[in-house]
Amino acid sequence: MLLNIINAIKSKDKERLLFDTNGIAGLVFYGAVAAVLALFMAVCILMVIYSTLAFAGDTDTGIDYTIIDPYEDVNWLTYKQYRADLHNHTTASDGTDTLKDMLEQQYEYGFDIAAVTDHGVVDYGWTRQSVIPAMEIFIDLFKGRAGDIVPLESQGGEAANGNTYSLETKKGGSYYSQTTSSGIKLHSMLRVPYGIENNPSSLNNAHVNSWFVDYGHGLLGGTSDYETPIKNVHEMGGLSVINHPGEYTGARDEDSTADAYDEGAGMYGYYIDKFASLLINYDSCIGIDINSKGDGRTRYDRKLWDILLQRVTPTGRNVLAIATSDAHSTDAVFTGYTEMVMPSLTTDNVRECMEKGSFFACSKNLGNPVEIAEIANYLVESIDPTAVKLGEQLKAMQAEDATAKYEAQKDVEAPRVTAIAVDQNSDTITLVTAGAKNIRWIANGKTIATGNSIDLDDHKRELGNYVRAEIFGEGGIVYTQAFMLDYEGVAESDGGNFTDLGFLASMIPDTLVKLLGGLSIFDTIYGWIA
């Protein structure tokens, strides 16, 4: 084009110089096009730079998170961790072993805290054990009699292992301990008072555990009626928890995690609304059971926990998670348990710990295939050879049986959280652990990070009202309580209004119990059977 213009000037061809496509007219046209393209590209580059800087600046400054730490009051240097079994059964209801045998087994496994929670039978003390004749007759007729009632001797006695046991009541509570033949006194195990599993006559296992108040003895309860025991325990000043919800909802029978608690399918929306309403309206109901009895019936209940956390935490209260053995025999002791972090072993401290959530839910079993597969994938990418080996074992287990659950040996120590550091300025949560092979951070039901620490500013698009951690190791799995989050733009509560007609299903059996349960004929029949 330039050569053509030069030649046009030399030949004094004005028309060619001015109007030819390769002349000044063409130069102006193509120059204009090039200028427009350059301007467009410059704008695009500036937009990219601006968005990058804006994002980087937002990451640097972060969102002003307030992390509500359930372990805030724990002094990790002086507090100790105490192993608790908050749910188990004896021959006073449908257990196969006596109170004496169950306590001795718990003690042997190193439990520091035990709550006896027989169906419909309040624990009034380990030296006296009551029975409910009407319920005992039912058990005898349909399950076969489990065995005799054998409480402890108030003056002490001999344990099956040859040690002598003794009982002591003092200001801090009631304690059981053993002394060896050489005279060495071993650790003390604290009794949680007034333990009971309510609604024993529920036809769909709508069970509620409660402690600390004398409620439910001889009340057979009703089908689907969670609110009656929760409300009464609340008004009397006790604490309660919703037991193994997967059994009541039927979620345990689903083939996959995706199907369980699918709010668009079946009754799950109703169940979720029901539980959320109970938790919002009664803060003495501290939460739900998320892993118990080998995790067969609770394997999808961590999903329910996450759903309820999303529903309930916007109201300002947490949904705590417990794990228990729900042992009906000595063989099942030390499958699920609760690790309580307290300054000392007293009844008051146990209650305060349960209210605040300064404890961990722990289990020797993991039955959710999706969770196992995710953990295995993380483990095989680890730089720790023992973690890689464990991950390969999990993968091989699932390859052989896709529904197989992980069962840790009872003599292998489970992971342990030894300290938690929450930095409100840097928006980080850091766990100090022992025996951990994998740590997953979960928000809104999804794993958003792995490792000992999480920086919330790195995951702002994935966060909602909470974040929690799961710690997996060769000896089992440990669940932290949820760390609630408050910040500008966080989801707000839509209220807990819900009308549950579950009490209607319980009216007939409850009425029959009230009319017939007090008749002396039940005592007579029970005497014949016993």
DSSP 30-76: HHHHHHHHHHHHHHHHHHHHHHHHHHHHHHHH----EEE-TTTT--T
Specify the pLDDT at position 57.
42
Provide the β-strand partners of residue 164: 158, 179
Specify the pLDDT at position 136.
75
End-to-end CA distance of the chain: 114
Each residue's pLDDT tens digit in the chain (530 positions)?
Answer: 666 666 656 666 666 556 566 666 666 666 665 665 666 665 555 554 555 544 444 444 468 999 999 999 999 999 999 999 999 999 999 999 999 999 999 999 999 999 999 999 999 999 998 888 777 777 776 666 557 889 999 999 999 999 999 999 999 999 999 999 999 999 999 999 999 999 988 889 999 999 999 999 988 888 899 999 999 999 999 999 999 999 999 999 999 999 999 988 889 999 999 999 999 999 999 999 999 999 999 999 999 999 999 999 999 999 999 999 999 999 999 999 999 999 999 999 999 999 999 999 999 999 999 999 999 999 999 999 999 999 999 999 999 999 999 999 999 999 999 999 999 999 999 999 999 999 999 999 999 999 999 999 999 999 999 999 999 999 999 999 999 999 998 888 765 567 676 666 556 555 555 555 555 565 565 456 55
Interacting residues of 222 by C-beta distance below 8 A, sequence separation 6+? 199, 201, 202, 206, 228, 503, 505, 506, 507, 509, 510
Strands (E) located in 243-358: 285-292, 320-324, 336-342
Interacting residues of 274 by C-beta distance below 8 A, sequence separation 6+? 226, 498, 500, 502
- Burial class, 488, CB count within 10 angstroms (exposed 0-12 / middle 13-18 / buried 19+): exposed
pLDDT digits (tens, 9 = 90+) for 350-406: 999 999 999 999 999 999 999 999 999 999 999 999 999 999 999 999 999 999 999
Alpha-carbon distance of 33 to 361, in angstroms, equals 68
Interacting residues of 449 by C-beta distance below 8 A, sequence separation 6+? 440, 441, 458, 459
Tell which phi-psi region holds residue 251, choosing left (phi > 0), alpha (psi between -120 and 50) or beta: alpha
Provide the β-strand partners of residue 327: 88
Specify the pLDDT at position 519.
56
Alpha-carbon distance of 220 to 238, in angstroms, equals 19
Specify the pLDDT at position 76.
98
